[in-house]
């Protein structure tokens, strides 16, 4: 070991590391450092550990404490014993952040620096200058504080951050990192610091050295906070993640994740304190809206859970317990004062008001009792109240969870209208049919604000149970003498339609015929009667229209809406006689002119609709016919082979054997020693690409040369012409060569071969080879072979070309057959094709053994 290492070892042994100069490294936040490494994250999770939840304070004094900024004149930072309500100390200072209790220290921002105060006395141990950055937050593990600072937390173009490790006893710096990004409030546990970075990553640093050990990056979520607890390390944004090896997936689906079951609460708070939102040291609305929970042990299958399967929400003076799985409200309670801070322990839920009242709430029932009174106006509060007992005297909220929700919705505090509207939607989700009655009752309360009333109306229309309460409400009618108001028909009627409550038709009809029914409710009533009564409601509408057809009450564009709605229902649900009745109505000059005009408009619209439907039907038939033709075209195109088979070639070739005979006979007569005639035929397909287009063009050129969208008729014509052209398409002989080089043979064969036509194929060209054996059959006997011997059926001698049947032999093996191409069939007198590369005929090959004349198989090939 060298002297430098020995010296460092001695310093560590002496406990003087805190006096060493700070370590400034570049061993973290590098763009080259790999993120989402499963092995590293697994090691980090194991190091941080997951133990049992302890119900005791985290501070070294072992007492339930509260750190706060005293509000008003003479601002100060103070620490209180929550159980007694007495202050441990109070120090005047203009704090600009929430003080944080970390072990035996309190960390708070004052001006342009962050101070480290002694928890027991409030004495300053040291401070850290911001150097132009904002204080984001701090955490502690052992005797090391880790602090984060950033520019850009509250906006602006500058983005910078610094994370710094500080000795908790002296406040001296141990190491620091400057980062080109925004850092948030860190967490510390197991000798590691967890630093949220740019709302996307969490860097895991060694607290002793500052070296980065692992990095987590989300690919489908925003990471806005991280905290450490005895159960492990947790992070997230709107939902909760447990840090473990599965976090390496970087996704919700691949990680242990629990979504916020109360998503959408007004104010849009995160499920945990936002690490990138600096505190201010004053009371803010943000502090009055939030969630709290205690992580639970991993459930079966590694599922993330919370203690009691419950998440708690506070909104000003309302506190709710929410089922973590379903989002259902377990209980809801209204407190006397706004909640400025809230902390959940295994024992209870504790809240602090601005007036210094500390209350304890039973997590299971919502029963509330006062723990202590601080006798101060407080704000920017941090709590460490593990082990604090609930007060013996507690008052539970009355009624069921449904009734408690209704009570919160009735709250006259108009600051809470957004929450009350949100709770209306939660109330409407309950299946209990009594909810429908509750919502209707809430809607009729005159003190309900307009915004909330609209939310109730919308929620009512989502209900599918409790129709009996709405039907019963229809029994109420406006009565001036009895001081009865008409029920809210504009809400009840659409809801009854959504519930398909046909039993409501009589009650709705009674309101339609009641002249005291409010004008603005009539259209909804008429629509509901029509939807629920259908054809049976037509006589009712006719009667009503007849009653008020000339009534001045319905004069004017706005007032005639109800009558026009009834006319619409008659037109929609009535038969031919009902439409005839409407025709008579339109011709009656005593009828409201606007109503008559509406009947005419309906008739014109109906005629237009009929014409449109007929046009659509005709077009649909054309499209069906076009598709059938296009399918036929596709089938025809599919029959075009990649290349021509020997069988297809021979079908055309063999049809002209008589002409070939004549040419062969002439060649033999000129050269009796001729053994073979070789023929190479090159075909050219000449298949235009346009004939293989699968679908009609999207646009067609008109007579004026201007293109327009192709009509179905034009597409049908195009398809027919494609099929006709493809059917007529033929392959032709591009070139034919013969051996031997006999001009007369070539002239004769060209007259036969060049005019030949063959089926079309996809390749550009293709060669076929044929070899004609012209050797004479020789009679065997007497030891010599004589040319030309052979007898016909009458015993007459025949020339050699009528005795021997030449064969077309294959000089080379046939080309490989393409997939899907039928194998070539060799017919008598033919052979397969040769490779497509054209060749010049050469010298005839060596003769093969002649066939024996006189057998049927040896008849001349041209007589076959």
Average pLDDT (814-822) is 44
**Which CATH number characterizes residue 228's domain?**
2.40.10.480
Q: Do the domain assignments include residue 139?
A: yes
CA distance 512 to 331: 42
pLDDT at position 794 is 52
Q: In the predicted model, what is the mean pLDDT of residues 381-397? A: 96
Is 604 in the same domain as 652?
no
Q: What is the pLDDT of residues 310-334, one digit of tens each?
A: 999 999 999 999 999 999 999 999 9
Do 601 and 674 lie in a common domain? no
How far is 152 from 554, CA to CA, in rounded Å?
A: 62
Whether residues 777 and 844 share a domain: the answer is yes
In whole angstroms, give the CA distance from residue 653 to residue 730. Answer: 15
Question: Do residues 753 and 833 both lie within one domain?
Answer: yes
Indicate whether 845 belongs to any domain. Answer: yes
761 in Cβ contact with 642 (< 8 Å): yes
Residue 782: CB atoms within 10 Å: 7
pLDDT of residue 759: 93
Give the SS3 label for residue 333. Answer: strand
Which band of pLDDT confidence, cut at 50, 70 and 90, is reported for residue 843? very low
Report the distance separating Cα 545 and Cα 537, nearest Å. 13
The sign of the dihedral angle between the CA atoms of 747, 751, 755, 759 is negative
Q: Is residue 585 part of a domain?
A: yes
652 in the same domain as 785: yes
Q: Are 233 and 157 in the same domain? A: yes
In-domain check, residue 831: yes
Per-residue model confidence (pLDDT) at position 26: 61
What's residue 560's pLDDT?
A: 94
Number of domains in the chain: 3
Work out the angle between the directed axes of helices 450-460 and 417-428 (0-180°, nearest 10).
10
Task: Pick the closest to residue 178 from 162, 191, 196 (CA basis).
Answer: 162
Task: Show the tokens assigned to 448.
Answer: 């309900």
Please give the pLDDT value at position 309: 95
Domain residues for 851? 646-687+729-863
Regarding whether 484 and 432 lie in a shared domain, the answer is yes
Q: Is residue 184 part of a domain?
A: yes
pLDDT per residue as tens digits for the range 499-539:
999 999 999 999 999 999 999 999 999 999 999 998 899 99
Do residues 574 and 668 share a domain? Answer: no
Same domain, 515 and 659: no
Q: Does residue 723 belong to any structural domain of this protein?
A: no
* Average pLDDT of the chain to the nearest whole number: 86
Dmax over Cα atoms in the chain, in whole Å? Answer: 146
Per-residue model confidence as pLDDT tens digits over 250-259:
999 999 999 9
Write down the pTM of the prediction: 0.70
Same domain? For 682 and 550 the reply is no
pLDDT given at position 826: 33
CB 243 within 8 A of CB 204: no
Mean pLDDT to the nearest integer, 262-266: 92
Residue ending a domain, among 218, 243, 278, is 278
Do 683 and 768 contact (CB within 8 A), yes or no? yes
End-of-domain residue from the set 232, 254, 278? 278
Are 165 and 172 within 8 A, CB to CB?
Answer: no
Contact at 8 Å (CB) between 45 and 232? yes
Q: What percent of the chain has pLDDT over 90?
A: 74
Q: What average pLDDT does range 566-578 have in this prediction?
A: 94
Cβ contact 129:166 at 8 Å: no
Helix (H) or strand (E) holding 443: helix 434-444
Same domain? For 529 and 596 the reply is: yes
Residues 561 and 435 in one domain: yes
Q: Where are the alpha helices (DSSP H) in 500-645?
A: 505-513, 522-533, 538-548, 561-573, 576-587, 593-638
Q: Are strands 86-92 and 76-81 parallel, antiparallel or unpaired?
A: antiparallel
Beta strands across the sheet bearing 310-315:
289-292, 310-315, 318-323, 329-334
Which CATH number does the domain housing residue 489 bear? 1.25.10.10
Q: Is there a domain that residue 795 lies in?
A: yes
Asked if the structure places residue 107 within a domain, the reply is: no
The full 3-state SS of 639-663, as one line of letters, equals CCCCCCCHHHHHHHHHHHHHHHHHH
Integer-rounded Cα Rg, in Å, for the chain is 48
Q: Return the structure tokens found at 591.
A: 């009828």
CA geometry: angle 833, 839, 844, nearest 5 deg: 85
pLDDT bin (cut points 50, 70, 90) of residue 299 is: confident
pLDDT band at 704 (very low <50, low <70, confident <90, very high): confident
Is 779 a residue whose pLDDT tops 50?
Answer: no
β partners of residue 523: none
Residue 141 neighbours by CB distance under 10 Å: 20
């Amino acid at each position: 070991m060298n002297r430098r290492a020995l010296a460092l070892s001695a310093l560590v042994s002496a406990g003087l590391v805190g006096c060493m100069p700070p370590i400034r490294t570049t061993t973290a936040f590098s763009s080259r450092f790999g993120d989402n490494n499963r092995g590293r994250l697994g090691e980090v999770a194991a190091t941080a550990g997951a133990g049992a939840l302890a119900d005791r304070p985290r501070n070294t004094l072992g007492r339930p404490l509260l750190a706060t900024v005293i509000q008003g004149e003479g601002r100060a930072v103070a620490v209180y014993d929550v159980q007694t309500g007495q202050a441990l100390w109070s120090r005047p200072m203009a704090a600009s952040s929430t003080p944080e209790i970390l072990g035996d220290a309190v960390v708070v921002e004052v001006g342009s620096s962050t101070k480290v105060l002694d928890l027991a006395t409030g004495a300053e141990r040291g401070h850290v200058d911001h150097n132009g950055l904002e204080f984001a937050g701090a955490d502690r593990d052992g005797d090391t504080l880790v602090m984060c600072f950033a520019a850009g937390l509250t906006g602006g173009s500058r983005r910078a951050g610094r994370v710094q490790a500080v000795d908790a006893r002296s406040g001296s710096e141990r190491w620091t990192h400057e980062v080109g990004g925004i850092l948030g409030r860190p967490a510390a546990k197991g000798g590691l610091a967890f630093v949220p970075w740019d709302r996307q990553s969490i860097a895991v640093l060694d607290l002793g050295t500052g070296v980065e050990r692992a990095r987590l990056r989300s690919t489908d979520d925003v990471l806005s906070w991280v905290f450490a607890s005895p159960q492990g390390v947790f992070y997230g944004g709107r939902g909760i993640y447990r840090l473990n090896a599965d976090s390496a997936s970087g996704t919700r689906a691949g990680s242990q994740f629990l979504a916020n079951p109360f998503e959408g609460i007004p104010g849009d708070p995160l499920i945990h304190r936002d690490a990138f939102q600096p505190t201010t040291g004053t009371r803010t609305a943000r502090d009055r809206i939030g969630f709290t929970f205690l992580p639970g042990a991993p459930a079966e299958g590694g599922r993330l859970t919370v203690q009691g399967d419950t998440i708690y929400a506070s909104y000003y003076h309302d506190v709710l317990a929410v089922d973590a799985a379903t989002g259902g409200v377990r209980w809801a309670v209204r407190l006397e004062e706004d909640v400025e801070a809230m902390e959940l322990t295994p024992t209870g839920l504790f809240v602090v008001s601005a007036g210094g009242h500390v209350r304890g709430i039973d997590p299971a029932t919502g029963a509330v009792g006062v723990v202590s009174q601080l006798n101060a106006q407080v704000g920017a509060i941090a709590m460490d109240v593990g082990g604090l007992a609930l007060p013996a005297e507690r008052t539970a909220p009355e009624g069921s969870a449904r009734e408690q929700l209704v009570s919160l919705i009735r709250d006259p505090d108009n600051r809470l209208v957004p929450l009350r509207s949100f709770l209306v939607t939660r109330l409407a989700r309950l299946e209990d049919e009594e909810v429908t009655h509750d919502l209707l009752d809430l809607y009729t309360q005159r003190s309900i604000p307009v915004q909330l009333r609209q939310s109730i109306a919308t929620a009512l229309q989502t209900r599918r149970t409790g129709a009996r309460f709405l039907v019963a409400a229809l029994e109420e009618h406006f009565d001036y003498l009895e001081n009865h108001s008409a029920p809210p028909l504009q809400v009840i009627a659409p809801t009854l339609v959504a519930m398909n409550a046909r039993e409501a038709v009589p009650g709705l009809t009674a309101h339609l015929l009641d002249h005291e029914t409010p004008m603005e409710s009539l259209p909804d009533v008429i629509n509901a009667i029509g939807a629920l009564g259908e054809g049976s409601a037509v006589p009712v509408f006719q009667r009503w229209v007849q009653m008020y057809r000339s009534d001045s009450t319905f004069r004017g564009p706005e007032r005639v809406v109800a009558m026009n709605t009834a006319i619409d229902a008659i037109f929609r649900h009535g038969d031919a006689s009902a439409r005839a009745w409407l025709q008579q109505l339109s011709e009656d000059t005593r009828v409201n002119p606007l109503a008559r005009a509406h009947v005419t408009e309906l008739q014109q619209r109906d005629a237009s609709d009929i014409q449109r439907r007929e046009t659509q039907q005709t077009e649909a038939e054309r499209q069906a016919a076009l598709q059938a033709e296009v399918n036929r075209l596709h089938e025809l195109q599919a029959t075009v082979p990649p290349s021509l088979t020997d069988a297809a070639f021979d079908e055309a070739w063999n049809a002209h054997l008589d002409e070939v005979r004549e040419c062969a006979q002439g060649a033999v007569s000129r050269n009796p020693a001729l053994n073979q005639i070789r023929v190479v035929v090159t075909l050219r397909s000449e298949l235009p690409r346009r004939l293989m287009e699968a679908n009609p063009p999207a646009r067609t050129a008109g007579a004026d040369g201007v293109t327009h969208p192709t009509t179905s008729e034009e597409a049908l014509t195009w398809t027919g012409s494609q099929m006709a052209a493809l059917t007529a398409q033929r392959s032709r002989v591009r070139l034919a060569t013969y051996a031997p080089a006999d001009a007369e043979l070539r002239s004769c064969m060209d007259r036969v071969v060049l005019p030949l036509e063959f089926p079309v194929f996809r390749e550009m060209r293709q060669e076929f080879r044929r070899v004609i054996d012209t050797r004479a059959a020789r009679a065997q006997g007497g030891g010599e072979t004589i040319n030309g011997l052979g007898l016909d059926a009458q015993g007459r001698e025949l020339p050699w070309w009528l005795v021997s049947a030449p064969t077309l032999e294959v000089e080379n093996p046939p080309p490989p057959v393409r997939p899907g191409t039928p194998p070539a069939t060799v017919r008598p007198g033919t052979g397969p094709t040769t490779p497509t590369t054209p060749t010049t005929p050469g010298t005839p090959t060596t003769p093969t053994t002649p066939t024996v004349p006189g057998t049927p198989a040896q008849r001349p090939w041209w007589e076959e």
